[in-house]
Amino acid sequence: MPESTPPTTPVPHPGDAARELPLEAPRHPARRNSLRLWPAILILALQAAGLFLSVTPSIDNQTRFFLMMGAPAVCLLLFLVWLVGFSRVPWKVRLALPLVVAFCGLCVARWIDPSMGVPLWIYGLPAVLAGMTFGLWWAQRWNAWQQLGLAALLPLLAWAQLPWWKLEGFDGDYHPELRWRWTASPEERLVPRSTVDQVAAPQALVVGPHDWPMFRGPAMNSRVNWSVGPLDWSSTPPRELWRQPIGPGWSSFASVGDRLFTQEQRGDSELLTCLDTQTGKLVWEVEQPVRFSDVVAGPGPRSTPTFDGGQLFALGAKALLTAHDAATGQLLWKRDLMKEVDAQLPVWGFSGSPLVVGDLVLIYAGGTDPHGLLALDRNTGQTRWSRPQRGMNFSSAQPAELAGVPQILFASPEGLESLDPTTGELLWSFRPSLWKGPAKCQPQLLSDSSLIVPVGDGVGLARLDVVRTGDTWTITERWSSNALKPSFNDFVHFEGHLYGFDQNILCCISAEDGRKRWKGGRYGFGQLVLLEADRRLLIATEEGAAILVDADPDRWNELGRVQALSDKTWNHPVVAGRLMFFRNGVEAVAYQLQPGGPAVATEAPTAP
């Protein structure tokens, strides 16, 4: 019997162990960290909030303007910090993407219309940030070069929309007014005036009781104290007398007798023009080689001419002050204040209107000390006195009589100042608690001891009480209120109440305590005139409609409307006799308020 063989341990085969061991997960390259997206989304939400707030009229305009221009810069900085420091994208993308996108932006900037520089910043930059964010998110699993390509392509596609458009300004809510790039603007479509219509000039022009010789009327309070009625626009709407194209500008009219004065831009020249009130035909024009334009309001002069004693005084948007014979337009003298006193050009151009007091013409220049507010000899243009004041100011010096003392009211950066009109000596000054410049609207006198003062652009109003004891003036702030917040659009006072624009909505507040009575009528950033004897408000809406509203403190009641103009209208309406004049930067139009009746009011002024 064979001998048994002891059991042996089998020798493992090298492949056996591998076959018996559990299978391991396949080895792959280390997984990249995913994109950290939430900070970018937060930045985009912040940018969207900035854009939304910049067109919210309940916020004061300085804050809105800062949001419109500053939010893109802040969000760009935050986005770059996120992209380079925290995004987790490959380093070559972090470093190359800003350079590639910036290069594309510079290329696009060379192709766009010059007016589109601001939209490129305000709207193009947020679109670029959104495009880069979406591109990085979509391509986060791709390789670095693919990520870079998509994240740069999407912003370029967003920017590619801009060269097709041009910007013709913003409305009062800061919405852009875009036009197809190759469409001629209203200014470009103006027919050159080759000849002046032969309209006989009067022997002399004298201000009558129903004339409108300066900005906001003879007392600078937008108040018509004679009856222009009856006013029933539902059955007898005003009759259009004439309509004329006009160059851009935000000047209003001065109306004296049968002559109408205004300023406009045509090409590279500012024009001071005189029209016939009954026909709209040109009587004379004077041209100055000046052009001003800003991105918000566009081109043209902003100031309204002032008539006094047969002379006409006009301030251009670049502080060229001229004096003329009102009947013929003959130039009497001129002062280039930007050259002579280093007047600093405001962001929206010089807007204050000349004020004539006796033999002086007062105008704000904002030049080097002491050439702030200037008083010039009306016959020679030589400086008689001046006060130091710098900074942007869009309001006008205004006459007043308080506590029996004739004086001049003018807003400074520190508050409201009262000056002796003959010497420029400071009588008193006061800074209301809500005061915030720059000044844009005029004060409103309630009596010889009380007045309403606008405290800033879209900020509110304050009521001041004025007491004089000997040579001592005591100024007390009775109330301040943000229930009515005028911007460039103003307000009027009637029977203990104030009517005006709370930014873009008409409202009424109590003059006694500043409390709101009603708010209604979304008329945009319009203007208004009080028809005192007829107890009506004449509204010029931002969209160019003429609207009648009851001057009733208990309710808002619209009585009728006429679509007078079709473009943005920021110019003050004018009522002279029974004629109503409207204009904007495209057209001027005249209406007879009492169709079939006389154009000139002949009755004595009527008290309310």
Query: CA geometry: angle at 464 spanning 460 and 467, to 5°?
Result: 175
pLDDT of residue 33: 55
For residue 438, the one-letter residue type is P
For residue 445, the one-letter residue type is L
pLDDT of residue 223: 95
pLDDT of residue 417: 96
pLDDT of residue 407: 97
Residue ranges for the chain with pLDDT beneath 70: 1-33, 193-203, 596-608
Phi, psi of 217, rounded to the nearest 5 degrees: 95, 180
Q: Which residues have a Cβ under 8 Å from the Cβ of 403 and sit 6 or more positions away?
A: 448, 449, 466, 467, 468, 473
Cα separation values, 586 from 90, 523, 524, Å: 55, 19, 18
Q: How many whole angstroms separate alpha carbon 403 and alpha carbon 398?
A: 16
pLDDT of residue 86: 93
3-state helix, strand, coil in the chain (%, to 5): 20, 35, 50
pLDDT of residue 450: 97
* Coil vs helix vs strand at 453: strand
Q: Which pair of tokens denotes residue 379?
A: 């016959």
The tally of CA atoms less than 13 A away on the side-chain side of residue 92 is 7
pLDDT of residue 594: 79
Q: How many whole angstroms separate alpha carbon 547 and alpha carbon 536?
A: 10
Strand partners, 314: 322
Helix axes 91-111, 61-85, angle to 10 degrees: 140
DSSP string, 202-218: PS-----TT-B-STTTT
Please report where in the chains the tokens 């000039």 appear, as a residue: 201
453 close to 498: Cβ distance less than 8 angstroms? no
Q: How many whole angstroms separate alpha carbon 457 and alpha carbon 280?
A: 34
pLDDT of residue 605: 40
Range list of β-strands (E), 461-569: 461-469, 472-481, 491-494, 497-502, 505-510, 516-522, 527-531, 536-540, 545-550, 558-563
CA pseudo-torsion sign 145, 147, 151, 156: positive
pLDDT of residue 442: 94
